[in-house]
Structures are given as C-alpha cells and as structure tokens.
Amino acid sequence: MGDTEFESHLEMLDKIHWNEQENMYCDVMTGICKDYDELEDEDEGLEHVFVCHRRYASLFPMLLGLVPPDSKKLGHILSMIEDPEELWTEFGIQSLSKHDEFYGQGENYWQGPIWININYLILSSLHRNYMGIEGPYQEQAWSIYTRLHDNLIANVFE
C-alpha cells in the first residue's frame, strides 16, 4: 500500500469513527435498534449512528500508532487514558469507563476488568510512537508510560 492510499485510509478512519462531540473514536451502527441482531447493514437510507463507549476499542488507532504525534486527537486519547474518572486505575487501564452504563454488568468480561495484554499494547505504543517523537503530547505520553509501567509492575509483583 502506498503512502497516498494509507493516508486515504486514515482519513476514512477519522471520517467514519472520530466523534467531535465526544472527542474519541467510536463504533458506528447503521440505524437505531434495541437488539444488535436486528441490525441489517444492507438497509438503504438508514442513518449511521455513533455508539460511543470509553473503552479499549476507542484506543486502537493510538495503539496501532495511527494517530499522528501532533494530532489533537492524541491529546484527547491520552487524557481519557489517564483520567481516573474514566479508564485510569492504580492497577492499570481498565477495559471500560466506570461511568459507562455497561460497566460491571452482565458477564463483565469486557465491562471493566483490567487486561494486562491491552495494557502492554498501550505501553508499547507510547514507547514506540509517542515518547521519542517531539510534539505537544510527548511529555504527557512519557508521564502516562512511567506511571502505568510502575502501576503494572507493582500490581504483578505484589
């Protein structure tokens, strides 16, 4: 894939999934329904609706290094990560914001627990893509990396 095609895909990612009101990447659904099983993507004329939950999926563009180091979107993502009212805990980054309606509900698999593999990906991306590159969020990336690293190590070895 050439640079132009890659940039086009990134623009499409932002166009489809970035929600300016929530300042985050969101899932998108076609139409509104009460049950996911009723959703039919083939229906023409249905409006695309953002489904925004502050969770691991919202971080994936950053985890993959797709968010440029000078992008305001990165600042919003980093702020969401380090906000103790959202994803930050002293044990690691949790899978869903504690303010989300689904937090701790049902089987609770992705509704709040901390996943060490995702926390590793967060650390890896901060280290590889944002700490060593000058930009407006470099210091914030360093701070999050250092605190998250220390929290995870303390949690695993205590």
Q: Are 108 and 52 in contact (CB under 8 A)?
A: no
Question: pTM of the predicted model, to two decimals?
Answer: 0.85
d(CA 88, CA 74): 16
Quick check: 10 and 4 in contact, CB under 8 A?
A: no
Please enumerate, as own/partner, the contacts of 20-24 that have beta carbons within 8 Å and a separation of 24 or more. 22/50, 22/52, 23/73, 23/76, 24/52, 24/54, 24/58, 24/76, 24/77, 24/80
| Alpha-carbon span 48 to 22, nearest angstrom | 16
Residue 19 DSSP SS3: strand
Q: Could you give the angle at which helices 138-157 and 72-82 cross, rounded to 10 degrees?
A: 30
Contact 75, 118 (CB under 8 A): no
Geometric angle at alpha carbon 130, from 136 and 62, rounded to 5° = 105
Q: How far is residue 69's CA from residue 71's CA, in Å, rounded to a whole number?
A: 6
Is the Cα torsion angle 148, 79, 62, 115 positive or negative in sign?
positive
Per-residue confidence in pLDDT tens, the chain, 158 aa = 667 888 888 999 999 999 999 999 999 987 555 554 554 545 455 567 899 999 999 999 999 999 999 999 999 999 999 999 999 999 999 999 999 998 888 776 666 688 899 999 999 999 999 999 999 999 999 999 999 999 999 988 87
E strand spans, the chain: 18-19, 24-25, 27-30, 48-51, 88-89, 92-93
DSSP conformation class of 96: B
